[in-house]
Structure 1
């Protein structure tokens, strides 16, 4: 279970919450332009756009959960269990394994529009990275610095690419159903609600924020979709990088999952392992973790982007507290 967003302000900020019950040793990973991306069926990319994001590095291959490239296109894979269908290889199509999808797109496309072109004859295959690392059922959100975003869903009837006016994505149900469900909450407002129930009676507005009284607050993916869409829509636009990054993380915090509230197996609880934010204009990558709320940052442009070796930074695993006395 996860949540992804594109926050459009003076700059454009892309990223997600990763919500799982286990971690994978993921690290902030920079892939420079001359690292050779080898694919199972399509030709290798010996040179490509540089990437930064969160990845599990296995056999010197970055298995990205989410990333952005130096041109300002971001992409994140979110759980889509029960719906995602990957296919056998098709000789009439461009065959890319699910674990290759992010580098295949971000290595080449500079915008959402270019990414759409790469997907026109694409077949996402069911080939595994290894016996130990089987394909995860995913769908993807993409966003770029023009402010555009799309959702990509591999369903039983084919690969669907949807324009995303909400700039958010969670998990099941499918994206069209998530949009349909928004109609149930069209009256939500950050202010006082209009009294259409009994317009001739002076109702006692006994609390602030009664306009949000029916806003979902559960951990479920449909509820999180509604809540984060509302939070993102009404988030202020910052006047500085610090304000924008702060606003962005508060939007994701509105649907973050504490430990102990989402039991996925006996005594096993899903929680927000990390939240991240990529400034699509500058290539700055921000993140925090469940163990450390302080925002950390990695600047992709301080790495040797013309190199051929991966650069990785371990995520922070202990709380940083500012003791003031």
Structure 2
């Protein structure tokens, strides 16, 4: 399970958690402008926008979980098990394998408007990367500083939704997630001054935060969608880079999964394997991992972006503690 969130101050930020019971050995991957992407059906692209993101590297190929390109367009794939449905190749359509989707969009598009246009003819195919990698059941959030869309491939076909919340989790489908927000329209960061329950009963303001009473606190994807949206919409911070990056991590912390609270099978537990925050305007990748809460950064602008060689950095997963004495 995962959560993705956008945040806008002077710069545009894009964050996500990856929640799972183990890591696939993901790394921070940079594909320079001349790295050759060989798409199964739509042809090769040997010159494109540079991309940085989280990926599992397989046979020299970055299988991106989330990424942003040098123009500030971001995308992330989140689990959508049971609802995702991909098809065989369809003539006359842009046939893109599920694992190719993020690089296909970020290679070609410099903004959300161009991404919308590109997706008009898309058919997401059920082609696996290899026998070792089954096709993941995902849906996607695609964002830039102007807004967000959600892309879903279901049995009814391709669905492209405007995403005014700038948030995505997992099931149910996105339109149901948005409708569910209606059930929480009374929540507020402020404590109501006049109780609406009854004017005849005595109500005391016994605690701060009563305006958010009823905000769901469980780890289900529907509850995380509500909680992440509420926290994001009520977040306040200074416009400088450190404050914004810190604030995005605080927003993501509101939906983080500590080990032990979501038990699976055979004594396994879902945890927040990593959390990432992109400054999409400056194209800087910030991250933490479950056992390393120190924010670590990779700046795409420090790399040779005209290279044709894939660059990748292993995540720092060991806890780093600063002693002050």
For Structure 1 versus Structure 2, the TM-score category normalised by the shorter chain is over 0.9
Q: Deviations over 1:251-287 (max 9, x none)?
A: 0000000011112223111110000011111111100
The 5-angstrom pairing of residues 1-325 of structure 1 reads: 1-146=1-146, 148-193=147-192, 194-325=194-325
Render the CA deviation track for 1:210-235: whole Å, top value 9, x for unaligned: 11120000010000000000000011
CA contact under 8 A between 1:10 and 1:238: conserved in structure 2? no
Q: CA deviation at 1:169?
A: 0.4
Deviations 1:36-84 (A, max 9, x none): 0001111110100000000000000000000000000000000000000
Give TM-score, length-normalised by structure 2: 0.98
Q: CA deviation at 1:237?
A: 3.8
Q: Moved runs in structure 1, 4+ residues, more than 3 A?
A: none
Q: Counterpart of 1:224 in 2: which secondary structure?
A: helix
Q: Deviation digits for residues 192-215 of structure 1, max 9, x if unmatched?
A: 134000124341121111111200
Q: Distance in 2 between matches of 1:164 and 1:14?
A: 14
Distance 1:124 1:43 in 2: 15
- Aligned to 1:107, the other structure's residue is in SS state helix
Q: How many angstroms does 1:322 deviate by?
A: 1.1
What stretches of structure 1 of length at least 5 have no aligned partner?
Answer: none
Residues 131-166 of structure 1, C-alpha deviations (whole Å, 9 max, x = no match)? 0101100000011123x1110011110111111110
Name the stretch that deviates more: 211-220 or 191-200: 191-200
Distance 2:211 2:266 in 1: 37
Separation of aligned partners in 1, 2:38 and 2:204: 65
Contact kept? 1:51, 1:68, Cα under 8 Å: yes
The alignment partner of 2:208 has SS state of: coil
* Contact 2:15 2:248 (C-alpha < 8 Å) held by counterparts: no
Q: TM-score, normalization: structure 1? A: 0.98
Q: Distance in 1 between matches of 2:200 and 2:284?
A: 54
> CA–CA distance in 2 between the matches of 1:285 and 1:225?
23
Asked if the contact 1:10/1:237 (under 8 Å) is kept, the reply is no
Cα distance between partner residues in 1 of 2:105 and 2:202: 57
Aligned residues of 2:227 and 2:255 also touching (Cα < 8 A): yes
- 1:22, 1:82 → 2: CA distance? 21
Quick one: distance in 1 between partners of 2:266 and 2:200? 52
Q: Is the 8 A contact 1:15 1:66 kept in 2?
A: no
